[in-house]
Amino acid sequence: MSRAGFSAFVCLFFAGCFCCSKAMPSKLNQETFNNRPVIGILTQIVSDDIMKPFGSTYIPASYVKYIESGGSRVMPIRLTHTTDEYENIFRQINGLLLIGGAANLETSDFARVAKIFYRLALKANDAGDFFPIWGTCMGMQQLTVLVAGENLLTNTTAENIALPLNLTAEASTSKMFEGFPSEFMKVLTQEPLTGNFHHYGLTVKTFQENEKLQSFFSILSTNVAENGAHFVSTIEGKRYPFYGTQWHPEVNRFQWDRKRNFPHSAHAVQLSSLLAQFFVEEGRRSLHQFDNPEEEASSLIYNYTPVYAANFTGYEQLYFF
């Protein structure tokens, strides 16, 4: 959906208020913001044997802290609900984060639930009901499978390596990087601020040859894999507020395993902060809400306690569900 579409919706909303409140006219053309956003995070399927005793799905605490750092609360979303239940959750949350992991992108429960939210978000945005989605690593891969209607991923291994971004011309007019200082855009292309931990991805060639991907997303950056393949590393929806990074913005501030190349420089921290703030700001444009404070309170991540996991995984803390 377009910004104009959203404004039209808001204008109608205020026009409605105007009839019964004469104090409103100065706000006629302003957007309404939701300053108590809740971003949903789909739980990820446990595939590591060592994690299995704790639960069947999990969310690394790094993603939760990342979203919280932008000024949002987090609702964990299990993979075991019915479609009706997901429709109800959709009406309550203000954005969705699809995280990294290892699951089948067409047949897994993760894929099934991601597809339900993806379709709801398309429909909502088309109707002027703003709803952002962000996919990180496998989450971005999942978005490309949903848009293309098929899995087009190939070997683009970039495992445990921090890279500078090869920004495209479209990055300079993107929404994702709109608020970035111009000197910082240059830093992005020079310093290795993006942590890559993936085996598969979309090559630039595959992307450009696919009509659906090409018309849906703009490529904001590319990188080169270990096998020399140029892969798409950052994308943004042209009409929809859907974003994807093949790299991991959350690790820059919230993961510390010494065996991994997590970027922790001041610039790396700044990048992670700017993107968390950007995505939560998108969430503030969603006016979805819970029916009552009790339902909201019982749905939030605060009801769960993360497990210390640095001695058996690469993560410091994990939430299990």
Ligand X SMILES: *[C@@H]1O[C@H](CO)[C@@H](O)[C@H](O)[C@H]1NC(C)=O
Strand partners, 5: none
For ligand X, the binding residue among 166, 214, 273, 277 (CB under 6 A) is 166
* Closer residue to ligand X, CB minimum distance, 33 or 308: 308
Does position 273 interact with ligand X (CB under 6 A)? The reply is no
Least distance CB 67 / ligand X (angstroms): 25
Residue 168 Cβ, how far from ligand X at the closest point, in Å? 5
Q: Is 267 in the site for ligand X (CB under 6 A)?
A: no
Q: How many residues bind ligand X (CB under 6 A)?
A: 12
Rule CB under 6 A: is residue 33 a binding residue for ligand X?
Answer: no
Count of CB atoms situated within 10 Å of the CB of 113: 22
Burial bucket for residue 278 (CB in 10 Å: 0-12, 13-18, 19+): buried
Distances (CA, A) of 103 to 47, 98, 99, 193: 8, 12, 11, 26
Cα 208 → chain centroid: 23
User: What does the per-residue mask of binding to ligand X show for 129-158, with x meaning CB under 6 A?
Assistant: --------------------------x-x-
302 in contact with ligand X (CB under 6 A) = no
R_g of the chain computed on alpha carbons: 19
Which backbone phi and psi does 18 adopt, to 5 degrees?
Answer: -55, -35
Near ligand X in 84-123, by CB under 6 A: none
Q: Amino acid letter at 301?
A: I
Count CA atoms closer than 13 A to 144's CA, side-chain side: 33
Does position 173 interact with ligand X (CB under 6 A)? The reply is no
**What does the alpha-carbon distance between residue 49 and residue 215 come to, in Å, rounded to a whole number?**
40
DSSP-based three-state secondary structure for 315:
coil
| Residue closest to ligand X, measured at CB | 227
Find the binder of ligand X among 227, 238, 298, 303 (CB under 6 A).
227
What is the smallest separation between the CB atom of 185 and ligand X, expressed in angstroms?
15
226 binds ligand X (CB under 6 A): yes
Among 82, 182, 292, 311, binds ligand X (CB under 6 A): 311
Task: Report whether 97 contacts 67 (CB < 8 A).
Answer: yes
* Shortest reach from residue 224's CB to ligand X, in Å: 5
Best CA proximity match to 39, nearest among 234, 299, 309 = 299
Measuring CA to CA, which residue among 248, 257, 268, 251 is closest to residue 316? Answer: 257
Q: Which stretch binds ligand X (CB under 6 A): 52-60, 66-74, 265-273, 307-315?
A: 307-315
Site for ligand X in 189-218 (CB under 6 A): 199
**Residues involved in catalysis:** 137, 248
Residues that bind ligand X (CB under 6 A): 155, 157, 166, 168, 199, 222, 224, 226-227, 308, 311-312
